[in-house]
Amino acid sequence: MRKILTPTILLVSFVSLFTDIASEMLYPIMPVYLRSIGFSVLLIGILEGIAEATAGFSKGYFGNMSDRISRRVPFVRWGYALSALSKPLMAAFAFPIWIFLVRTMDRLGKGVRTGARDAMLSDETVPEHKGKVFGFHRALDTVGAAIGPIGALIFLHFYPGQYKLLFILAFFPGIMAILLTLLLKEKRQGNNVKPKLTKAGFFSFTRYWKTAGKPYKLLVSALLVFTLLNSSDAFLLLAIKNRGLSDENMILIYIVYNLFYAMMALPLGILADKLGLHKILIAGLFLFSIVYILFGLAVSFWQFIFLFLGYAIYAAATEGISKALISNLAGKSETATAIGFYTGFASIFTMLASSLSGLIWYSLGPKAMFMVSGIGVAVVAVFLWTNKNLFVSGTDLASGVKAE
């Protein structure tokens, strides 16, 4: 395992950990802070929509740029730096335009780094170990997602309402992330790899779809349909509140979810390498379907705890593993573009999914929303299972091994 986790993989994973500590310190209080400075619910929705759209399209563009110039490190450094710097800037002024610019800066940072970072992880290993590598990275990332809210809860317990000071404190783990990126070194490319220095438009990454192989197209199409059926995690927390549970119980369940997610990410990555990435991914989607259907029926604290543990297993079985599988289905010189294309459109579909889920919740109730999502994702999982042989042959071809 020590040989599999190279210094670069360890550095990138710890950078993600510190960045998520900073981001998740602010996630629970962001809506409250925005309301405190005069933002309406509508304005908050517009702000988040613009921010997610920025992150979405920029993931594809900068992923493609990383492949074209055959470099990863600059995108990782600047991406994490932009997100870290946005934290204290958010508290500097309360003007709506300033808040829009800084929030967009944060999401732009995510867009700049995502494709290059995941391609860097892929470049550091071989197909038979990608489940472990992406699982380890996801585990540390999620540990940060658990530490952040815990830190925010402790701070606000002693300093209630001091939201601006919390934004400034969130900058310190961000500084650690920036410093760690300075230790990253560019992986030397082979002599036959030459940068493609031609100019490309902002949406040029979409051309990748024409040249991508059938396994990639099938997998990404299915995952995007899944994304459209997968509502924001905020709806899961809202379901808890809708059943009359307290804010403390809601936050506790969210922390337990992140901790269990972090615990399961690496073991499931190891299992995926042994059994097949596609098998664990499909199993994760089936589990999502079961959990979502039961969410519409749950009423007690312990039922929600049990379901969030199942939801954590689903997340650990899909988030990193889907990227690992995509990287196996893409050529090595196009990994960032392939991942950027998927994650970019996934961001847009996530935004649409939340709107669709909100409409169903409002019109038919929460039970109907969870049922529609659960049944729809079960159909996606069955579709992927019936085409599972394509992923095996596609992975073999991408890794240079002749498929049987």
Report d(CA 172, CA 362) in Å as an integer: 40
pLDDT tens by residue, 151-197 = 888 888 788 878 889 889 999 999 999 999 999 998 776 545 555 55
pLDDT attached to residue 344: 85
Average pLDDT over residues 59-76: 90
Instruction: Give the pLDDT score at 194.
Output: 54
Q: What is the C-alpha to C-alpha distance for residues 16 and 147, in angstroms, rounded to an integer?
A: 13
Range ranked top by mean pLDDT from 86-90, 127-131, 282-286: 282-286
Q: What superfamily in CATH does domain 7-185+209-398 come from?
A: MFS general substrate transporter like domains (1.20.1250.20)
**CA angle (385, 386, 391) in 5-degree steps:** 65
pLDDT digits (tens, 9 = 90+) for 359-372: 888 888 888 889 99
Rounded Cα–Cα distance for residues 143 and 147 (Å): 6
Asked if residues 181 and 76 have their Cβ atoms less than 8 Å apart, the reply is yes
Residue 49 or 290, more confident? 290
More confident residue, 400 or 29: 29
Q: What is the pLDDT of residues 110-138, one digit of tens each?
A: 889 999 999 999 889 888 899 999 999 99
Residue 285 has pLDDT above 90, yes or no: yes
Give every CB contact of residue 348 below 8 A, 6+ residues apart in sequence: 52, 53, 56, 57
215 Cβ contact partners less than 8 Å away, ≥ 6 residues apart: 329, 390, 391, 393, 394, 395
Q: Choose among 80, 81, 118, 102: nearest CA to 30.
A: 102
pLDDT of residue 195: 53
